[in-house]
């Protein structure tokens, strides 16, 4: 049952058709039987009338007379054109009188009753009666085909409207069914048209009884989904937030421990401990950042920004890390106005830059280029690192996904959240991000921002989360 509408239309039309056609057939049959009786009645009346003739008065040679054409009193239409052939015989079978159409030989055997026979290249219904008083046979006959045609012509007029109405009914049924199914389509449209992040209840005017349960279930589902989303978001944020304080305390204590320790071996262990705590602190910060930049979470303050200037600012902050790794860095381009949120964009550039630096071997090359292009502003981060094989390029945006697990060629441990944050920010700005191979040999990250003032940046992004 692929389509409810087609199923309902077809089955209801078929039912109507069956009922009306079968009753039409039944009506037709009964009317035909009635008509037959009427014609038989006619034959009988005429036979009786003929038998009133005094055959003795007619003796002396066979007479040939006109066939009877008598209007039918009961139903004038049936009587039209109906000719009745007749014969009168003596009881011994001698022909006394016949009409023009009747043959010389008896039209039927001398047995009282109706009978169907062929003569004169037609099939006839013949009535034979024996008038015992006058002692002669009277045979009257009507052509069966004419009887039938006359009757059918009239009865058909009653049947044809039935046939014509059925297709009309089918069209109406189609319209009614379509109309009846409209709330279902409205509900489907309502559910389909909403944003993925929009989990507010579906509102329908005048929900039909059959759909009340369904729309209630959908709303219930949406409510629960919304609740669990909220809980999930809050949990990550709360957990990270709660972890911040103990980590800061740990950091202070490790610092103190380093001051107090004398033995070099113990100091080395403590230094490793400090690095571990730093990594943990970084992870917690990144989780918080990720949640802050979640598109359905972020309260945006969009304003026109010079992306190149922003990049310069971020580079000067992060330059220490690049210097430490002995990498060569270039910042190219200039200008490029983007309508966006300064904090988020700073975080985006920071993540791109530190990611590139982290995964590029020491002494490698990095290049950041920010420049306007045909469609807006283009920001390209390139490095001479190992790059990302094509099959992993989709997955690296997933949270906590790291290429080759933790065993990175560069030996650096990341949080696995950097690119997820980048993706959030990109989506938030209706920008696009593509990963490719750089001419420096490593990864090329290309972020395209739409032209500022394009008018699209209003409300929530469409493909958020």
Partner 1 sequence: MPWLAALALVLAGAAGPAALAQTPEVEIQIREHLFFPAEVRIPANIKVKLIIRNLDTTPEEFESYELNREKVIVGNSQGVVFIGPLAPGEYPFFGEFNPRTAQGKVIVE
Partner 2 sequence: MISAVIIVLREVLEGVLLMCMLMASSAAMGNRLRWLPVGLLLGVAGAYSYAVFLDPISMLFEGLGQEIISAVMLLSAALALVVYVHLIASRALRPASDKPSRAVLALCLLAAALSISREGAEVYLYVYAFGVQAGQMASIMSGAVIGTGIGLSFGTFFYYGLRALSRKACLWTCAGIATMTSAGLVMQATYNLEQADLLPGQQPLWDTSALVRESSLTGEMLQAAFGYEATPTAVQLSLYLASVLACLAAMALARLHATKRQETST
Measured from the CB of residue 18, what is the shortest distance to partner 2 in angstroms?
5
Measured from the CB of residue 204, what is the shortest distance to partner 2 in angstroms?
30
Residue 121 engages partner 1 in binding (rule: CB under 8 A): yes
Measured from the CB of residue 153, what is the shortest distance to partner 2 in angstroms?
8
φ and ψ of 82, to 5 deg = -80, 110
Instruction: Return the HEC string of the chain.
Output: CCCHHHHHHHHHHHHHHHHHHHHHHHHHHHHHHHHHHHHHHHHHHHHHHHHCCCHHHHCCCCEEECCECCCCCCCHHHHCCCCEEEEEEECCCCEEEEECCCCCCCCCCCCCEEEEEEECCEEEEEEEEEECCCCEEEEEEEEHHHHHHHHHHHHHHHHHHHHHHHHHHHHHHHHHHHHHCHHHHHHHHHHHHCCCCCCCCCCCCCCCHHHHHHHHHHHHHHHHHHHHHHHHHHHHHHHHHHHHHHHHHHHHHHHHHHHHCCCHHHHHHHHHHHHHHHHHHHHHHHHHHHHHHCCCCCCCCCEEEEHHHHHHHHHHHHHHHHHHCCCEEEEEECCCEEEECHHHHHHHHHHHHHHHHHHCCCCCEEEEEEEEECCEEEEEEEECCCCCCHHHCCHHHCCCCCCCCCCCCCCCCCCCCHHHHHHHHHHHCCCEEEEEECCCCCEEEEEEEECCCCCCCCCCCCCCC
Residues recorded for the chain: 465
Residue 114 engages partner 1 in binding (rule: CB under 8 A): no
| Interface stretch with partner 1, choices 117-125, 233-241, 358-366, 449-457 (CB under 8 A) | 117-125
Residue 34 engages partner 1 in binding (rule: CB under 8 A): no
Q: What, of partner 1, partner 2, none, does residue 446 touch, CB below 5 to 8 Å by kind?
A: none
Q: What, of partner 1, partner 2, none, does residue 145 touch, CB below 5 to 8 Å by kind?
A: partner 1
| Interface stretch with partner 1, choices 6-14, 118-126, 211-219, 262-270 (CB under 8 A) | 118-126
Residue 37 engages partner 2 in binding (rule: CB under 8 A): no
Residue 223 engages partner 2 in binding (rule: CB under 8 A): no
Binding test (CB under 8 A) with partner 2, winner from 64, 160, 196, 323: 160
Residue nearer to partner 1 on the CB measure, 122 or 174: 122
Place of tokens 């959908």: 218
Say how far apart CA 183 and CA 205 lie, in whole Å: 9
Q: What, of partner 2, partner 1, none, does residue 122 touch, CB below 5 to 8 Å by kind?
A: partner 1
Measured from the CB of residue 144, what is the shortest distance to partner 1 in angstroms?
6
Quickly list DSSP for 305-367. Answer: EEHHHHHHHHHHHHHHHHHHTT-EEEEEE---EEEE-HHHHHHHHHHHHHHHHHHSPTT-EEE
Residue 145 engages partner 1 in binding (rule: CB under 8 A): yes
Binding test (CB under 8 A) with partner 1, winner from 2, 66, 92, 118: 118
| Interface stretch with partner 1, choices 68-76, 121-129, 179-187, 306-314 (CB under 8 A) | 121-129
| Interface stretch with partner 1, choices 141-149, 221-229, 262-270, 310-318 (CB under 8 A) | 141-149
Q: Which x/- pattern, by CB under 8 A, does the window 147-176 give for partner 1?
A: -x----------------------------
Residue 401 engages partner 2 in binding (rule: CB under 8 A): no
Q: What, of partner 1, partner 2, none, does residue 373 touch, CB below 5 to 8 Å by kind?
A: none
Residue 92 engages partner 1 in binding (rule: CB under 8 A): no
Measured from the CB of residue 144, what is the shortest distance to partner 2 in angstroms?
13
Binding test (CB under 8 A) with partner 2, winner from 100, 156, 196, 266: 156
Residue 14 engages partner 2 in binding (rule: CB under 8 A): yes
Q: Both tokens of residue 239?
A: 């957990």
Measured from the CB of residue 156, what is the shortest distance to partner 1 in angstroms?
15
Binding test (CB under 8 A) with partner 2, winner from 4, 18, 64, 249: 18
Measured from the CB of residue 205, what is the shortest distance to partner 2 in angstroms?
33
Query: Which residues are near partner 1 by CB under 8 A?
Result: 116, 118, 121-123, 144-145, 148
Query: Which residues are near partner 2 by CB under 8 A?
Result: 1, 7, 10-11, 13-15, 17-18, 21-22, 24-25, 28-29, 32, 152-153, 156, 159-160, 163, 166
């Amino acid at each position: 049952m692929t389509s409810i509408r087609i199923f309902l239309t077809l089955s209801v039309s078929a039912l109507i058709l069956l009922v009306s056609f079968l009753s039409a057939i039944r009506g037709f049959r009964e009317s035909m039987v009635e008509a037959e009786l009427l014609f038989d009645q006619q034959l009988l009346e005429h036979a009786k009338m003929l038998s009133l003739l005094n055959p003795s008065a007619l003796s002396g040679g066979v007479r040939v007379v006109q066939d009877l054409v008598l209007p039918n009193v009961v139903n004038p239409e049936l009587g039209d054109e109906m000719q009745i052939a007749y014969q009168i015989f003596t009881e011994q079978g001698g022909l006394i009188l016949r009409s023009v159409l009747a043959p010389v030989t008896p039209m039927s055997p001398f047995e009282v009753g109706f009978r169907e026979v062929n003569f004169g290249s037609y099939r006839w219904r013949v009535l034979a009666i024996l008038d015992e008083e006058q002692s002669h046979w009277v045979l009257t006959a009507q052509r069966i085909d004419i009887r039938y045609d006359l009757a059918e012509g009239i009865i058909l007029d009653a049947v044809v409207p039935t046939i014509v109405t059925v297709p009309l009914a089918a069209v109406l049924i189609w319209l009614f069914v379509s109309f009846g199914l409209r709330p279902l389509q409205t509900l489907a449209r309502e559910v389909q048209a909403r944003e993925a992040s929009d989990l507010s209840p579906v509102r329908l005017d005048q929900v039909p009884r059959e759909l009340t349960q369904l729309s209630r279930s959908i709303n219930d589902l949406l409510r629960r989904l919304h609740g669990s989303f909220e809980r999930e978001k809050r949990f990550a944020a709360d957990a990270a937030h709660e972890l911040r304080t103990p980590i800061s305390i740990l950091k202070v204590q490790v610092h103190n421990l380093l001051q107090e320790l004398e033995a070099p071996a113990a100091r080395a262990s403590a230094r490793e401990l400090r690095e571990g705590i730093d990594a943990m602190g970084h992870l917690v910060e990144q989780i918080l950042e990720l949640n802050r930049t979640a598109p359905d979470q972020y309260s945006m303050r969009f304003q026109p920004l010079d992306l190149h200037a922003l990049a310069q600012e971020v580079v000067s902050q992060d330059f220490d890390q690049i210097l430490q790794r002995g990498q060569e860095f270039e910042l190219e381009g200039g200008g490029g106005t983007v309508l966006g949120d300064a904090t988020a964009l700073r975080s985006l550039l920071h993540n791109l830059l530190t990611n590139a630096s982290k995964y590029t071997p020491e002494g490698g090359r990095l290049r950041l280029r920010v420049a306007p292009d045909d469609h807006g502003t283009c920001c390209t981060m390139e490095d001479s690192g190992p790059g990302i094989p094509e099959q992993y390029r989709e997955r690296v945006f997933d949270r906590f996904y790291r290429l080759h697990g933790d065993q990175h060629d560069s030996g650096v441990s990341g949080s696995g959240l950097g690119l997820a944050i980048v993706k959030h920010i990109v989506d938030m700005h209706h920008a696009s991000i593509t990963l490719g191979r750089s001419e420096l040999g490593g990864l090329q990250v290309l972020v395209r921002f739409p032209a500022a003032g394009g008018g699209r940046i209003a409300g929530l992004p469409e493909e958020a989360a």
